[in-house]
Amino acid sequence: MSATGSDAWWASKKGPEWVAAASGTYRVTFWWRDPAGTQATSRVQRVWLYITGVTDHHRQASPHSLQRIADTDVWFAEVELESRWRGSYCLIPSENETDFPPDAFASPPDRIALREGWRKLLAHAIADPLNPQSWRGGRGHPVSALEMPGAPPQPGWGASETPFNEPHCLTWHSARLKNRRRVWVFTTGEGVSADRPLAILLDGQFWANSMPVWPALASLTTQGQLPAAVYLLIDVIDNTHRSQELPCNEAFWLAVQEELLEQVRAIAPFSDSGENTVVAGQSFGGLSALYAGLHWPQRFGCVLSQSGSYWWPHRGEGQDGFLIEQLKKGALQPHGLRIVLEAGVREPLIYRTNQALLALLEHKPVTIEWRPVDGGHDALCWRGGLTAGLITLWHSLSRTA
């Protein structure tokens, strides 16, 4: 047996390892190799473990650090996860003994202290060097993927080698919004039929660059689980524009309808039918998708909302979010919308407000499917929900229907 911390021992490590626990959960061990060696030669005092929805501020749990095995370059931590859990994580080596204010270690920990501590630390996060499944997450820092054996399937995402049509990348100059941004137009299937349905994916830069969605969509189309379609991915420009344009912004959606759709149609014809037009988004994008469907159901008849920020604009203030308030007042009367509503059980505020929204929509003349997910505010969960949601909303159009 190789000595702990030897080159041969490290060669056997391929990322987190887990064993089944008697409770039906899994005990997961995370490893990190200190490039500076042992405690005698390294200045590293902490290796913070940030697991979305488990050790982050959403959980309101004290910050979690790996521990060094004395006189080795080995750091490790054990965490218990549910059998259906899926999510991303990152490591944050630090030369400080404590990077959080004392309130972060109170009982219970102060959520603001946790949020601020993690916000500063995440700028120094690294992906797990032992895990080849890594990317740059939606918040801009590197993350790695982890899923337990019981995690639900993610349609299309195992087909990374599937050939696909090259997407068109355009620049949209908006007169109404007085800005410009990239958009991507992607088509699946053969031919250029004007009967193809349209799907608009918000936060398009993520699905185009950080976690390219093209092979998954192409594979599912080839399999007949999705129809031949046109996909429009819209860049957010930057976080400032994202926070202004996505939360319930009429001007943004008027610009999409009056300016962008005709520009896209000239490249890739699609159906005018709102009945099969999908708007899909996550977080602020999920809020925006439902806003579009509620206000222009004749154009955007299908909504795929994942981890929608329905608390907006009252984060943690105990007040109804804007859309929930409007629905309660009767200011919005949706008719005929088809909605897939998804939220993670490990994102408490968002999960709670999604349930409040669901309770209102269930009494409206809409078709709605509710999907709770054992995960957090996490793109690794969203990618499977995105393709599964498209399959649900376009079921009547696919070859397997």
Domain ranges of the chain: 7-147, 168-397
Using pLDDT thresholds of 50, 70 and 90, give the confidence band for residue 139: low
What is the C-alpha separation between 21 and 80, in angstroms, rounded? 9
**239 Cα distance to chain centroid:** 15
> 218, 224, 174, 184: which is closest to 204 by C-alpha?
184
**Which three-class secondary structure state does DSSP give residue 218?**
helix
Mean pLDDT on 45-65: 89
* pTM exceeding 0.85: yes
Over residues 30-45, the mean pLDDT reads 98
Res 242 pLDDT > 60: yes
Q: What are the pLDDT digits (tens) for 281-317?
A: 999 999 999 999 999 999 999 999 999 999 999 987 7
> What pLDDT does residue 400 have?
45
Q: How confident is the model at residue 401 (pLDDT cuts 50, 70, 90)?
A: very low
Cα separation, 198 vs 271, in Å, equals 7
Distance CA 268, CA 233 (A): 13
Give 18-87 as a DSSP string: EEE-TTS-EEEEEEEE-TT-STTT----EEEEEETTTTSGGGT----B-EEPTTSSEEEEEEEE-TT-EE
Quick check: 185 and 231 in contact, CB under 8 A? yes
Say how far apart CA 159 and CA 197 lie, in whole Å.
Answer: 23
Dihedral class, residue 136 (left if φ above 0, else alpha if ψ from -120 to 50, else beta): beta
Using omega within 30 degrees of 0 as the cis cutoff, is the peptide bond preceding 109 cis?
A: no
Distances (CA, A) of 399 to 106, 152, 189, 197, 274: 56, 23, 12, 14, 20
pLDDT one-digit tens code per residue, 213-223:
999 999 999 99
Confidence (pLDDT) at 315: 84
With pLDDT > 70 as the criterion, what percentage of the chain qualifies?
99
- Cα distances from 92 to residues 55, 77, 121, in angstroms, run 13, 13, 7
Local structure of residue 321 (DSSP, 8 states): -
Average pLDDT over residues 41-65: 90
For domain 7-147, give its CATH number from 3.40.309.10, 2.60.40.10, 3.40.50.2300, 2.60.15.10: 2.60.40.10
Q: Which of 257, 258, 315, 318 is nearest to 287 (CA)?
A: 315
Other beta carbons within 10 Å of 148: 18
Q: Is residue 235 within 8 Å of residue 226, measured between CB atoms?
A: no
Does 258 or 107 have the greater pLDDT score?
Answer: 258
pLDDT higher than 70, residue 384:
yes
CATH of span 168-397? 3.40.50.1820
pLDDT, residue 56, reads: 80
For the segment 126-143, the average pLDDT, to the nearest whole number, is 87
- CA atoms of 285 and 297, how far apart (whole Å): 17
- pLDDT for the residue numbered 236: 98
CA atoms within 13 A on the CB side of 136: 10
User: Is pLDDT of 138 > 70?
Assistant: no
Cα 134–Cα 139–Cα 143 angle in degrees, nearest 5: 20
**170 CB-near residues (< 8 Å, 6+ apart):** 182, 183, 184, 185, 263, 264, 267
The pLDDT, as a whole number, for residue 399 is 60
Per-residue pLDDT reduced to its tens digit, 163-212:
999 999 999 999 999 999 999 999 999 888 999 999 999 999 999 999 99
